[in-house]
Structure 1
Amino acid sequence: MKKYTILLFTIMVLCFATSCEDLLEEKTYTALQPSDFFNRLEDAEITLNAIYGELRYSDITRDAVTLQEVCTDIHLERSGGIFTFNEPIEEFVWTSSHQWLRDDWERRYRGIFKANVVLDNLDPITGDEQRKAEIRAEAVFLRAFNYFLLYDKFGPVPLVTTSVTEVTDRPARASEQEMIDFMVSEFRDAAEVLPLTPPRDQYGRPTKGAALTALTKLYMMIRDWDNAAATALEVMNLGIYDLFVEGNRTELFSPDNQRDNEFIFVSVMSNTPNNDTGDGWLSHVVPRGYQWQYPPRQIFAAEYKIRSAFIDTFEPEDERLDAFLFEFVNADGDTIVLGEDNARSLKYPEYPNQDASRSSDDFPFFRYADVLLCRSEALNELNGLNQESVDLLNMIRDAAGVETFLVDDFSSAQEFKQFLLAERGREFHTEALRRQDLIRHGVFIEMAIERGKSAQDFHVRYPIPITEIERNPNLIQNDGY
């Protein structure tokens, strides 16, 4: 028996040895190369469309609120399994092992890779030249926007501009100036080509205004006030955006108005019931016992709440207060008052077309209100207290139903700057802008310490995920981590 086993093993080895070369040379019929697929503009657009899936905040709880507002003076979160992820962010004890930082990094680079695939394979395709130019500009914008989101959280990162890479490639981080120059160039190039209205009449695609607004926000981030003021004015001079003033300010986010022309660039959520590409915010927010307007809907254990100190910055007549839930009537008819540090942001309201835990609230990346306040802030930095800055602030306040100001109502440019920062909080809460605003104003760490958090200067940037450091020895970790 032993002899037969050895003989059989020897025959198998000899057969494998003689056929190995043929196996390696066998033609593969089931794998597609880019050259097999990118033959039409429609093919390029399929890959382009996949980038939006990486940008979509299926749960704005993570990238939008936890990483950008739970670490600020606005939001906190209690209860549920995701408190494990929220607590380190709130307490400023996050580490490079935080799963949501890793997820964010990976999603951004998947989007960048897909944009590179489009750009690397678009030139040989023949067809409508205008459509081809728009696809290229759209891919350039989306690649730069993903880098913008990375830069906001992590600082300079490796600039990968081709989809043709080797497994052994280990790109180092770009310098600050290389990173900034790249994004400025990309946004400006995209703005030169993208139309004023969404390409191919498909809402949610970037426009000239979106590219210029992204550039404005980048200039604000790096405190380049001259270019920020000038680029914001370019957006204003396009003449296609304005503020929503046709009803209560909170109605801007209602089903009837979510495509109002105050929105410049949004993450479009599906409006198809029973889908997993909608926005799951409300199920993470409303308290137990809350009665839905459009049942049935799930209420998760997680509870994102608003700090009372933030609510106290609003004037009583401010229409934007209507975005918060302070009390509700439960199924037994009892009025439940939520109390201290327990109000909820319902900025993104219920929609009729939704499933058990998701709705079709689009998430705004850029709004016209932000453009106006960016120019207001930049002009105040450049010129000191001035009439135009106050006028731009007044446009936002008038839309919200609160009193407006005269220049003389402010004693200095510094007092105006402080008020403007508070106004931005009231206008843009739950829109992932607060952390960036506090860092730009130089008060992010100071305010966290005042709340009793373990904040240090290096916390203005998140750590590069440890998984990326382990994969790439050329990546240098941010200071302090």
Structure 2
Amino acid sequence: MKSGTINIKKYLLLLCLIGSSFSACNKFLDTRPEDFVTPENYYNTEADLDRALNGVYNRLIDNFGRMYSRGLYSFLAISDEFFYKNVSVNNLKVMEFDAGQLDVGKLWEVLYQGIDRANLLLENIDKPKMDEKRRAAIKGQALFLRAYYYFVLVDNFGGVPLKLSSTKSPADPALPRASVAAVYDRIVSDMKAAEPMVNDISTYTSNERVTTTAVQAILAKVYLAMAGEPLKDVSKYAEALAYADKVITSAKHSLNPDYSAIFINHSKDINEPQECLWEIGMYGNQQGSQQLAGGVGIENGLESAFDDIGYSNGPVHPTGRIFSLFDAGDKRRDWAIAPYRYGTVNGVTGRVVYTETQIYERTVGKWRREYETQVPKNRLYNSTNFPVIRYADVLLMKAEAENAVNGPVAAAYNAINMVRRRGYGKPVTTPDPTVDLPAGLGKDEFFAALQDERARELCFEGARKHDLIRWGIYVSKMQSLATEINATAPSAWRYAGNAGKNTTARNVLFPIPTTELTINHLVEQNKGW
């Protein structure tokens, strides 16, 4: 997080809605308590609304590490692009778990905490006297965030209880699961309502707030999800195209000419709103009272044994499949997949370069702790932001939706080729036959090329699992990965295929947590769990 920006992490909203300790007072029975926060004595000023909104954002960085501090781009997003080192049995990381799994339960809990905070803010949004444009911006962000939390829920759990009012009492009636279609309808409704309310990104000095183009880009992503599994509403491709085009024609965003600079900027705590439309802001190193640091570049970091460089035991390793998708000339390969580690060999300390055959030994390299500027460096936490949506993703969504609606027309080619050119270090707007997709591809051929390009550009950013599921090929890709690794990987690394070996049709969704089933008897478990 950068000083001088609108800091959503600076304030934590602690709403004590029930329970309080009373000081000794013989009149407590007829005196209204005034020393703790309730909806009745809060939300009276614009500052109150801002702090409440910060509390809604705060659930994106939960202390449990299941959201964007760690889980949603690592152990909760297992796909065919990576595996965890030295994890082979009885673990979520190898897809061997049940409905009592703690991380899955905490993900559900944190998402509903965010929804409840948004509901409470929306119920009190009209209380203070204030500028109506600023009120609308707060309301728009709350609406969007509630919808986004539901998007993560429906993406991971399927149909879920659709709770649109805040919790008033533990005795509130239970809600059954809404259908997947109903949840998506509400997501779209809230996001579309938020679009004209939120501010333009130029209003802020960072990209950690939800802005117009961020809403539009996420709506494009939502519509692509609706066009795929399980709804398969192909009419939504046109909507996805329209919203991707809104972002592109806004001229607010562009590709950073240097792919690696995107991630170096994150590590250096530099905001770059041109490429990154919306980032989850992390802060500090989990020291002191502000517990809002993350693990970007630690959980999924380059292996380093040294605290001064930035420690990571390099738990997340690429599969041979993702490595082989890159051409040698694609500069993204040796940035996304680390070509070295930091260690000591034969008494010499420094970079240890991997050989050409050491594929499975390598780690994720997108965020490298050597570029972090905050000191001292914590072994477990840092302030590196996570990009929820990048402009490259928007261009690839444009190419996919354009191809689905109109076939592989020039606009689809241009969008994907801009991303490819940047990947090879070429000028993004200048046609280059050495890296551009070949002309004359059929619709299916273009789509296959698009699938591979999304894997190359967005690897290790939590997108791959979501993509494979909406394309309806998650299970087949995971199972074929197991076969592939068993046949081609060095014997010491064949356990890397265990997640794929354990994947079945039930793993398209997480189980509804046991904790939820225990307290809500209207909720039924997902198939296979």
Give the TM-score range, shorter chain: 0.7 to 0.9
Decide whether the 8 Å contact of 1:253 with 1:361 is kept in 2: no
The TM-score, its normalising length taken from structure 2, stands at 0.79
Partner SS for 2:104: helix
Where does residue 404 of structure 1 map in the other structure? 435
Report the aligned-residue RMSD. 2.6
Partner SS for 1:76: strand
* Separation in structure 1 between the aligned mates of residue 167 and residue 315 of structure 2, nearest angstrom: 44
Where does residue 42 of structure 1 map in the other structure? 47
* Separation in structure 2 between the aligned mates of residue 463 and residue 52 of structure 1, nearest angstrom: 25
Q: How is 1:273-352 mapped onto 2 (pairs within 5 angstroms)?
A: 274=287, 276-285=291-300, 290-291=305-306, 295=308, 297-300=310-313, 303-323=315-335, 324-328=337-341, 330-331=343-344, 332-333=347-348, 335=352, 337=354, 339-350=358-369, 351-352=372-373
The TM-score, its normalising length taken from structure 1, stands at 0.86
Kindly state the Cα deviation for residue 242 of structure 1 after the two structures are TM-superposed: 0.8
1:233 aligned to 2:254? no
Query: Relative to structure 1, is the Cα distance of residues 206 and 296 closer, same or farther in structure 2, using a 3 angstrom cutoff?
Result: same
* Separation in structure 2 between the aligned mates of residue 152 and residue 107 of structure 1, nearest angstrom: 15
Deviations 1:269-307 (A, max 9, x none): 115784652332433455766456xx164444x611111
Where does residue 73 of structure 1 map in the other structure? 80
Counterpart residue type for residue 215 of structure 2 = A
Decide whether the 8 Å contact of 1:296 with 1:356 is kept in 2: no
* Separation in structure 1 between the aligned mates of residue 296 and residue 62 of structure 2, nearest angstrom: 10
57-66 or 219-228: which moved more? Answer: 57-66
Provide structure 1 residue ranges, at least 5 long, that are not aligned to the other structure.
1-20
Where does residue 233 of structure 2 map in the other structure? none
* Separation in structure 1 between the aligned mates of residue 515 and residue 200 of structure 2, nearest angstrom: 41
Decide whether the 8 Å contact of 1:252 with 1:258 is kept in 2: no
Decide whether the 8 Å contact of 2:240 with 2:398 is kept in 1: yes
Decide whether the 8 Å contact of 2:198 with 2:210 is kept in 1: yes
Where does residue 263 of structure 2 map in the other structure? 253
Deviations 1:336-363 (A, max 9, x none): 6372412111212221114322332210
Query: Relative to structure 1, is the Cα distance of residues 303 and 379 closer, same or farther in structure 2, using a 3 angstrom cutoff?
Result: same
Per residue, is there more helix in 1 or in 2?
1
* Separation in structure 1 between the aligned mates of residue 342 and residue 33 of structure 2, nearest angstrom: 64
Partner SS for 2:40: helix
Report how many aligned residue pairs link the two structures: 449
Kindly state the Cα deviation for residue 43 of structure 1 after the two structures are TM-superposed: 0.6
Query: Relative to structure 1, is the Cα distance of residues 290 and 298 closer, same or farther in structure 2, using a 3 angstrom cutoff?
Result: closer
Structure 2 residue corresponding to 1:266, chosen from 272, 279, 298:
279
Provide structure 2 residue ranges, at least 5 long, that are not aligned to the other structure.
1-25, 228-235, 426-433, 483-500
Partner SS for 2:143: helix
Deviations 1:24-54 (A, max 9, x none): 6665444432121211010111111012221
* Separation in structure 2 between the aligned mates of residue 250 and residue 259 of structure 1, nearest angstrom: 13
Query: Relative to structure 1, is the Cα distance of residues 61 and 138 closer, same or farther in structure 2, using a 3 angstrom cutoff?
Result: closer
Structure 2 residue corresponding to 1:356, chosen from 378, 391, 397:
378
1:221 aligned to 2:209? no
Partner SS for 2:502: coil
Counterpart residue type for residue 280 of structure 1 = G
Decide whether the 8 Å contact of 2:320 with 2:360 is kept in 1: yes
384-393 or 89-98: which moved more? Answer: 89-98
Decide whether the 8 Å contact of 2:195 with 2:215 is kept in 1: yes
Query: Relative to structure 1, is the Cα distance of residues 283 and 151 closer, same or farther in structure 2, using a 3 angstrom cutoff?
Result: same
Counterpart residue type for residue 159 of structure 2 = P
Kindly state the Cα deviation for residue 203 of structure 1 after the two structures are TM-superposed: 3.9
Query: Relative to structure 1, is the Cα distance of residues 122 and 57 closer, same or farther in structure 2, using a 3 angstrom cutoff?
Result: closer
Where does residue 189 of structure 2 map in the other structure? 185
Q: How is 1:99-248 mapped onto 2 (pairs within 5 angstroms)?
A: 99-168=102-171, 169-197=173-201, 201=205, 203-223=207-227, 224-245=236-257, 247=258
Query: Relative to structure 1, is the Cα distance of residues 118 and 404 closer, same or farther in structure 2, using a 3 angstrom cutoff?
Result: same
Counterpart residue type for residue 221 of structure 1 = A
Decide whether the 8 Å contact of 1:325 with 1:344 is kept in 2: yes
* Separation in structure 2 between the aligned mates of residue 367 and residue 213 of structure 1, nearest angstrom: 9
357-366 or 88-97: which moved more? Answer: 88-97
Where does residue 449 of structure 2 map in the other structure? 419
Counterpart residue type for residue 434 of structure 1 = R
* Separation in structure 2 between the aligned mates of residue 281 and residue 268 of structure 1, nearest angstrom: 11
Structure 2 residue corresponding to 1:387, chosen from 407, 410, 425:
410
Counterpart residue type for residue 432 of structure 1 = G
Deviations 1:164-194 (A, max 9, x none): 4332320111122221111111111110111
Larger radius of gyration: 1
* Separation in structure 2 between the aligned mates of residue 176 and residue 284 of structure 1, nearest angstrom: 31
